Amino acid sequence: MRQLLNTLYVTSPNSYLSLDGENVVVLCEEKEKIRVPLHNLESIIAFGYTGASPALMGECAENNIALTFLTQNGRFLARVTGETKGNVILRKAQFRIAESEAQSAKIAKNFIIGKIYNARGVIERAVRDHELRLDISKLKQASQFLMQSINLVSKCSNLDQLRGFEGEAASTYFSVFDELILQQKNDFYFKGRNKRPPLDNVNAMLSFVYTLLAHDTAAAAEAVGLDAYVGFMHRDRPGRISLALDIMEELRAICADRFVLSLINKKQVDACGFFQKENGAVIMNDDTRRIILSAWKKRKQQQLTHPFLEETIEWGLVPYVQAMLLARFIRGDLDEYPPFLWK
Amino acid sequence: MLVLITYDVNTETAEGRKRLRAVAKQCVNYGQRVQNSVFECVMDAAKCREVQHKLELLIDPKTDSLRFYYLGNNYKNKVEHIGAKQSFDVEGVLLV
């Protein structure tokens, strides 16, 4: 299995990334802040309007290091992709599947099954762990509904219908999401998902973490030679990493949502770290962002046994493994794409 | 694994000083300079071979020397730092 390498987060806005030999050097007002050999890095994420030298961008593309630029608030700006590499036959096969509704539906089905199964897992886990503190009947009801959705989805082969089931399941899941927040209830509540801009603390965190996850899944798809922009469930739209979003569906609940919940429930973040602009948009301050990034990095290093491969890997490699399994299915080595079903 | 690379290059001649600069430049590519001629590099065995080969071509074995210390994967409890010039952990959280 591939080794999980480190990610460099650059959060100081007036810094410049440059290449020196085989190092990435972060300069802040002409002063060297950090120098890291590129062979230690898996990806670089720059927040704010950080500049980077073309030489560094080229080197990153060459060495398969994902270089992504986000705004200060974590909204996606740009990603550096190099020359298209990898297997053209694999990519053509991917395009052919994406062209056909019926075949796309077959894969999309598994993404959605994975998504609902894992969302249900998050609810069930909460029921098991905090039986006395939660509204068990409400959670059980949601969990049962999700179970039924999984059955419906597995019999369905129409892409639009599948999207319908997915939407219903997602809204059921988010309708009980507020129950899972156990601490700091006054400052962290969830009334529904909102984005662009997020209107409360929880949504601000969710949006931020989803962006981080999307960066990882896009990089993973590119790393196995798939085209991150051609999706099966998400249709093509210029500039949208549809395939990465597809792969991400099954990981949202277990990687991102659960991570956000644990930050709140363990009181690693607090209300002081957020402020609201005139238009209602909630923004995190730099400290909170730092806390989230370092916790995210630690989460990515935790180990688990992959349910399909039965191999011990780090959480950070899960997007890569899923992309690899998808590539194997597209290539015809697997009969079906096995979604990541969290145990 | 962590590999500690140290070198001694004879700088009595102009060529020697040139070699010293070349060796230092190569080492910076792969690791963190923790002291003047001491580098800490976190890398796998293949990368390590590559660095060794590059450095061997640079030095003059009659007057210069290279030493590689292999500290393995559990290096964190084998290294202690006292005094100025704090280093950073390449496998830890990299946030600037």
**Contact residues, chain B, for A33 at CB < 8 Å:** 96
> What is the distance between the terminal CA atoms of chain A, rounded to a whole angstrom?
21
Is the pLDDT assigned to residue A84 strictly greater than 80? no
Asked if residues A26 and A10 have their Cβ atoms less than 8 Å apart, the reply is: yes
If we measure between CA atoms, which residue out of A179, A192, A113, A186 comes closest to residue A146? A113
Q: What is the rounded average pLDDT of the residues A327-336?
A: 87
In chain A, % of residues over pLDDT 70: 99
pLDDT at A199: 85
* pLDDT tens track for A157-193: 888 888 888 888 888 898 888 888 888 888 888 888 8
The model's confidence at residue A27, banded by pLDDT at 50, 70 and 90, is: very high
pLDDT in tens, B45-76: 898 999 999 999 999 989 999 999 999 888 88
Tokens 């894969």 belong to A107
Asked if B42 lies within 8 A of A40 by C-beta distance, the reply is yes
Confidence of residue A85 (pLDDT cuts 50, 70, 90): low
Asked if B35 has any chain A CB less than 8 Å from its own CB, the reply is no
Per-chain mean pLDDT for chain A = 86
What would the mean pLDDT of B24-46 be, rounded to a whole number?
Answer: 90
Stretch A43-58: mean pLDDT: 89
Q: From chain A, pick out residues whose CB is under 8 angstroms from the CB of B95.
A: 9, 11, 290, 293-294
Here the ipTM equals 0.85
What are the counts of helices (DSSP H) followed by strands (DSSP E) for chain B?
Answer: 2, 5
Across the interface, whether the CB atoms of B96 and A294 are under 8 A apart is answered no
Query: A112-116, A194-198, A258-262: lowest mean pLDDT where?
Result: A194-198
Site from A11, A18, A35, A40 to mutate, B interface, most B CB atoms within 10 angstroms: A40
State the pLDDT at residue B39.
Answer: 92
Distance (Å) from the C-alpha of residue A33 to the closest C-alpha of chain B?
7
In the sheet that A31-37 helps form, which strands lie side by side, from edge to edge?
A31-37, A23-28, A15-20, A51-52
Position with higher pLDDT, A1 vs A113: A113
In single-letter form, the type of residue at position A266 comes to: K
A274-324 residue pLDDT tens: 888 888 888 888 888 888 988 988 888 888 888 888 888 888 888 988 998
With an 8 Å Cβ cutoff, the interface of chain A facing chain B consists of 3, 6-12, 15, 20-23, 26, 28, 33-37, 39-40, 290, 293-294, 297-298
Test the A interface: residue of B27, B44, B95 with most A CBs within 10 Å: B95
Q: Using the beta-carbon criterion (under 8 Å), do B29 and A12 form an inter-chain contact?
A: no
* Mean pLDDT, residues A40-52 taken together: 88
Q: Which of A125, A156, A120, A162 is nearest to A141 (CA)?
A: A120
Under a CB-based contact definition with an 8 Å cutoff, are residues A325 and A103 in contact?
Answer: no
For Cα atoms A327, A328, A330, give the angle at the middle one, nearest 5 degrees. Answer: 65
Token readout for A310 is 């039965």
* Res A277: pLDDT: 84
Q: What is the pLDDT of residue A342?
A: 85
Contact A21 B29 (CB under 8 A): yes
Q: How far apart are CA B10 and CA A219, in angstroms?
A: 46
